Structure 1
């Protein structure tokens, strides 16, 4: 699963409320929670800096479709917060941090007080400091990096983070203490990031974590699959990106790895599901989201709106929808400190269920999913195995930076 985190894995890896934040909290209809308390009619100017083009354009498209649906839902079709019209301007960063920073600076210079987007983690970590420096609100999107949580008081996120991914993977093991875990990945920045994340999360929970990193240029993957079989880990955590993914899965199957090991990876966008081929039903998937996963009324509302607009609900549609809910909530204030206070500690009915913005570090506490692929190898479908409560996968409170 991705963020900027690749095609096969969304990886490379509770709240004590302040009195004021507590008074603003409460589950229920998010659109009702987002009234304009200022009486202002000044437009709420929102800049979406995201991957309209580039390697993560498919993720960006899902995010945008979700955002539009979420804005319609949270404003009850008015596109207003109280008397304030919401004006959304899109900027394409193409997944390039330098382009994102330039676009963000331009929007800030035009008077935008709210920025959202960040399909890629490399983008998010560059835009976040700008939010604090210029006192604007930044709501990061699909970017999975844990570094965004707690980075500064102006930065929030509308998606999950790597820690939540890895804890979901660990749920397939049960008690991780004393278990053997191998991270199987390419020897790249992406692969190394996954090794670090698994060592931090599962190693910290008592597992012994080994790694098997494969040269990115390797095309014969049988020897590496054989090494995995010989190591016989309790859990094989696969983090793979690129065109050799199908060959890798085939090699694992041929070497009998699935017969003795629980193999876990992240469920990516629907278009990638046929990549797993004949072993699809043997893989255990951690999932941030897939269409139909949640079974909530909010999910139904999102799906209806996205479908009516000609889109298709997928992995990152929910991140855009959630971002719009947060923008509308914040838009009840015309000052950024007020926006921040309104979001800190807020619990609301999201697509995935009850979602909470943790006051201390702005982590987005949310359910996660265990999933299986079923049906034909060429057109598999996702089946929910288990929904994990937000508390079960919550990251530790990030230290103040």
Structure 2
């Protein structure tokens, strides 16, 4: 398996017309220049090129690192250590989008122009929503990573996801709540695609159960979070759902604790990466946690063990988004092996309705809208400081957190 990295020059956001025109040109070039070579490539074992466009730097760099470590372990596992699928070496090119949609689009266009048929990555929801249309315009298989926005599900027939989506988080949280009828709920989040997706998901789930849902949204760049904690406290909610990502999480929890939010109402949030565990301190006992994943959550299955061992032996630390990378590699290998190394339509068909054992347990790609059905978890944090760690409360099967069915656009 050959790994290579490239660096991008920051560009201005592209207008929709520019994207469509560029997509048409790239698609036309691919049709004219590779139709004959694809058949030959399938015969002579030419490398299958995979582009990973993810946050190697920027505010979500820690998540990008976890994704990349999981992907490397997953590719080794899925190819039995050979780095090859059906006689084709998997050639991976990493590109850093730094969490910037314009950089991600530029990288995706560059890779498409070089003949790449497969894209993966997208740590950030806003990035994923810009890359997905470009993948459709150029008929590229796109497997998004940690990006959780629900809008990605069903966005087009070429887009899949290897992580969970916000609706699955909310459904998991819902299993921990008492009757929501007549209750007031506040969603505290960043004013980003991720945050807005969580607001929409909480409204969809809990308003249907009779709750009134409002929100407090902070700019992603905000570092002084005390005013937002005060706004939450003054709102007098019966339940506060916190959806937060990035390096400002410690400041957020400090502000919520100092402003008395954790003592005045029930607070539910997603369990973030291992680095966040000590941040909660004694307040951890006051918080209910839903969990996308934490090491050991799946019960040490053979696949989870392979991921944990693979990441650790490579010098990494298994964490929250390790499964997203690992699962992406599993999906790519299956798409090539059961579909085609060159025909995107066949790769798409191979992934639709595929049921497999991932590091979280049994998972399935829903054919109708490409949602990834998967287990979810609830947990509590015990201990403080360096000894803080999660204890599993419940492992929910994929049927317990199934998002609403959507129709694939286009």
TM-score (norm 2): 0.81
- Provide the rounded CA distance (Å) in 1 between the counterparts of 2:292 and 2:184: 24
Matched, 1:120 2:124: yes
Please say which of residues 41-50 and 198-207 is displaced more in the overlay.
198-207
For residue 40 of structure 1, report the CA deviation from its aligned partner.
Answer: 5.8
Instruction: Please give the alpha-carbon distance, in whole angstroms, between the structure 2 residues aligned to 1:221 and 1:115.
Output: 37
Do the aligned partners of residues 220 and 51 (structure 1) sit closer, same or farther apart at CA in structure 2, a change above 3 Å counting? Answer: closer
Conserved in 1, the CA contact under 8 Å of 2:47 and 2:89? yes
Q: Name which of 148, 158, 163 aligns with 1:154.
A: 158
Aligned to 1:237: 241
Q: Distance in 2 between matches of 1:99 and 1:247?
A: 28
Aligned to 2:84: 80
Matched, 1:309 2:317: no
The structural deviation recorded for 1:278 is: 1.7
Structure 1 distance, partners of 2:53, 2:311, is 20
CA contact (8 A) 2:289 2:380 kept: yes
Does 1:195 find its partner at 2:199?
A: yes
Shift of 1:262: 2.7
| Offset of residue 42 of structure 1 | 2.4
Deviations 1:53-107 (A, max 9, x none): 1111111111111111000000111111121111111111111111111111111
1:362 corresponding residue in structure 2? 370
Equivalent residues, number: 361
Is 2:353–2:365's contact at 8 Å kept on the other side of the alignment? yes
* TM-score between both structures, scaled by the size of structure 1: 0.83
| TM-aligned CA distance change 1:155 to 1:258, over 3 Å | same
Q: Is the 8 A contact 1:246 1:277 kept in 2?
A: no
* Root mean square deviation of aligned Cα: 2.4
Q: Does 1:298 align with 2:306?
A: no
Distance 1:187 1:357, change over 3 A: closer
1:64 to 62, 65, 68: 68
| Distance (whole Å) between structure 2 residues aligned to residue 115 and residue 214 of structure 1 | 31
Q: In 2 relative to 1, CA 141–373 (structure 1 residues): closer, same or farther, beyond 3 Å?
A: same
Per the alignment, residue 325 of structure 2 pairs with 320
2:100 to 96, 99, 102: 96
SS in structure 2 at match of 1:55 = coil
Following the alignment from structure 2 to structure 1, what is the Cα–Cα distance between the partners of residues 158 and 207?
31
Q: Secondary structure at the match of 1:202?
A: helix
Greater RCO structure (CA 8 Å; 6+ sep): 1
Residue of structure 2 equivalent to 1:263: 267
Give the distance between the partners of 2:76 and 2:135, measured in 1 at CA.
Answer: 26
Q: Which runs of 5+ in 1 are unaligned?
A: 1-37
C-alpha contact (below 8 Å) 2:226/2:255 kept by paired residues: no
**2:142 counterpart SS class:** strand
Tell me the alpha carbon deviations over residues 4-59 of structure 1, each in whole angstroms, 9 at most, x when there is no partner.
xxxxxxxxxxxxxxxxxxxxxxxxxxxxxxxxxx7662221111111111111111
